[in-house]
Amino acid sequence: MQFRQTFSTLCMFMALTTGASGQQTMTLKECMQHAVDNSIKMKTQKSETDDARIARRDAILRAFTPEVSAGTYAYSNFGRSVDPETNTYVSTTSFNNGYSVGAGITLFNGFEAVNNIRISKISLKMGTDREKLCRDELCLATMQAYYNVAYYKELVCLLESQVSTASRSLEVISRQEELGQKGYADVVGMEAEVAEREYQLIIARNQYSDALLTLKDLMFWPLNKELDIAGYENGENALLLTSKADTGCIVEHSKNVLPSIAVARANMENARIELKMAKWRFTPTISLNAGWSTSYYTYPGQTGYVPVAFGKQFTDNGGEYIQLSLNFPIFSRLSTFSNLRRKKNAYARATLQYEQKVREVEAEITRAVQDRDGASAAYLQAEKRAKVQEEAYRLNLRRLDQGLISAIDFQKASDNWLNAKTGQTDALLKFYIKRSVVDYYNGIDYLEQ
């Protein structure tokens, strides 16, 4: 009866909604979301995506808007200079002041402006995909750490129940020794069982603390703050929720949704556009410029000189210009040809990297489906073994209380049940991870599962 109560208490810990200290427990999804919201890597990637967004805006402005500049100057000349009015040399002190404004725009440069817009647009999409890839990798790492904590948490509970049961059995055997029903060897054997379980409990608690520290680190959780997890769902209906999609269908679908493939494809597309730009650099460029300028001058200190008013000079000395220029590239030390060769090589490398990434994803998906199916079969068998070993342990516990088996036989039965129960938990948690990976490849984000 006591074993049943202890085991029932053990199974209930995963259904708790608050920790021992009254702290709200966190589910797997909440842990992953907290990790995403506080990750330094995620924040860094978001800043890079913002840089790509700024680059796209600049590319659009460069393509469709002119570059405008304005300037002014003022200087005094104390020696020989040219009179702006008579265009003759004078040898007197002069003061000159000028103003100008100009604008220029490139009308044609081998479609470089349009291609830059395309590259910046693809780069922005690539930044978004990299951000998503970073988030998915962080979610998977958090999931693995979360399930490690859940595993060691249950192991601690199992060992605590075994320590309690072994201590109670030691009291029973000690009483039986006093009554002459058991020998000293039985008592020593049971003491060894208690010591072994207490040792295993200490090791399990250390492993739980280490796993919890890893989870906190991934979540950017304060290391000195308590963290309690909600555990995991029961495995009875877990296999019923497993999709049986064909591996080939998952591979084809993943080519359109996986951020890792999207990044490789974007790199290839940018390399192709840059190759086109390198070819167009052999063509001439056409640009248009226009501007206006005016000036003011005076000869301070010159005897008999009557200066012209600033406003009149500002108007009379003004002038405009418009310029259309055509530039032909003739010889640039073969830099244009070298650039073309480099862009061809870059496009070839990007194409090979994209093909390699698709190949890697196909292998990863095939392996993930196999691992998921293998993990489900392993869990079913581990569940059967755990049920049998649990019943055997319960019967041997009753026989131990009745003095029908030795402490050594009970220790063996206890080890068998502990191994079977932890094996079942390990198989179930591995199945959950493998199933989530397959669902991710099938287009379902970790946070949406």
Per-residue pLDDT of 277-335, as tens digits, reads 999 999 999 999 999 999 999 988 777 788 889 999 999 999 999 999 999 988 888 89
- Do residues 424 and 382 make contact, with C-beta atoms less than 8 angstroms apart? yes
* The two structure tokens encoding residue 354: 């994209």
Just give the CATH number of 2-69+117-169+206-285+332-448.
1.20.1600.10
Residue type for position 94 = S
- Residue 106, phi then psi, degrees to nearest 5: -85, 120
What pLDDT shows up at residue 212? 95
pLDDT tens digits in sequence order for the chain, 449 residues long: 334 434 444 444 444 334 444 456 899 999 999 999 999 999 999 999 999 999 999 999 999 999 999 999 999 988 888 888 788 888 888 899 999 999 999 999 989 999 999 999 999 999 999 999 999 999 999 999 999 999 999 999 999 988 988 888 888 888 877 877 777 887 888 888 889 889 999 999 999 999 999 999 999 999 999 999 998 877 665 555 555 667 888 888 888 889 999 999 999 999 999 999 999 999 999 999 999 999 999 988 777 788 889 999 999 999 999 999 999 988 888 899 999 999 999 999 999 999 999 999 999 999 999 999 898 889 989 999 999 998 988 888 888 777 777 777 877 888 888 889 999 999 999 999 999 999 999 889 999 98
Here the contacts of 128-133 (C-beta below 8 Å, separation 24 or greater) are 128/49, 129/259, 129/262, 129/263, 129/266, 130/45, 130/48, 130/49, 130/259, 130/263, 131/42, 131/45, 131/46, 131/49, 132/259, 133/259, 133/260, 133/263
Contacts of residue 341, defined as CB under 8 A and 6 or more positions apart, other chains included, come to none
- Do residues 216 and 227 make contact, with C-beta atoms less than 8 angstroms apart? yes
Per-residue pLDDT of 157-190, as tens digits, reads 999 988 988 888 888 888 877 877 777 887 888 8
CA atoms within 13 A on the CB side of 446: 26
Alpha-carbon span 355 to 352, nearest angstrom: 5
What pLDDT shows up at residue 443? 87
Alpha-carbon span 248 to 239, nearest angstrom: 21
Burial class (CB in 10 A: 0-12, 13-18, 19+), 376: buried
